[in-house]
Amino acid sequence: MAELTARLVSSMNSKTIAQVKESTKKHLRKKLESEFAGTLHIVPDGRGKLLITPDNLSTMEVVKENQSLKWELQTLKSASVQDVITKAAIKLRSTIKSRDIPQAWPPEVKPESECPTIPESLTVFLQYLLTRTNNPDKASQRV
C-alpha cells in the first residue's frame, strides 16, 4: 500500500495538487475496497506488506507464474561462478559491440565532448570490481 500511496501522491502532485491530506493517504485501502469490492482482493503477503490482486486473475495463471519464477530462481542459485562470469562477459561484450564507432585513419584529435562514451553497464561493472560498491565516492572515482 505504501507504493500505491506514493504513486497516488506523485500523481496528484503532477496534477497541481500541492498538498495531499493525511486522511486521503490513511484511508486509501478502505476507499479502494469500497469502490472495487468484488473486483480487487487485498491480502497480506506474510512479510508485512499487502498484495492487491484483481478478481480476473486466475489461480492457474498465478500457479504457472509461480512455478516459472521458482524454476528461474533455482537455475540462478545453481549456476556456477564460471557461468555467471561468462554471462556477464557476453553481456558486456554485446553492449560494447553495439556501440561500435568507426575509427578514422590517421587518428584525429577530438574534443572530449565528441569522444564516444563508455557504456553504463561497463562503468558499473568496473566500479564494483575496483571498489566493491555501485555508489563510489569521489576518492574512488579517480581509480
Looking at residue 63, what is its pLDDT?
92
The C-alpha cell that represents 72 in the structure block: 528461474
**Cα–Cα dist 63/48, whole Å:** 22
Number of structural domains the chain divides into: 1
Looking at residue 114, what is its pLDDT?
73
Answer yes or no: is 75 within a domain.
Answer: no
Angle at the Cα of 37 from the Cα atoms of 69 and 47, rounded to 5 degrees: 40
pTM, entire model: 0.43
Answer yes or no: is 101 within a domain.
Answer: no
Instruction: Give the 3-state DSSP-derived string for 105-130, with helices as H, strands as E and coil as C.
Output: CCCCCCCHHHCCCCCHHHHHHHHHHH
Beta strands in 25-97 (DSSP E): 40-44, 50-54
Answer yes or no: is 11 within a domain.
Answer: yes
Phi, psi (5° rounding) for residue 36? Answer: -115, 45
Answer yes or no: is 41 within a domain.
Answer: yes
Looking at residue 40, what is its pLDDT?
87
Looking at residue 111, what is its pLDDT?
80
Structural domain range at position 14? 2-61
Higher pLDDT pick, 25 / 95 = 95
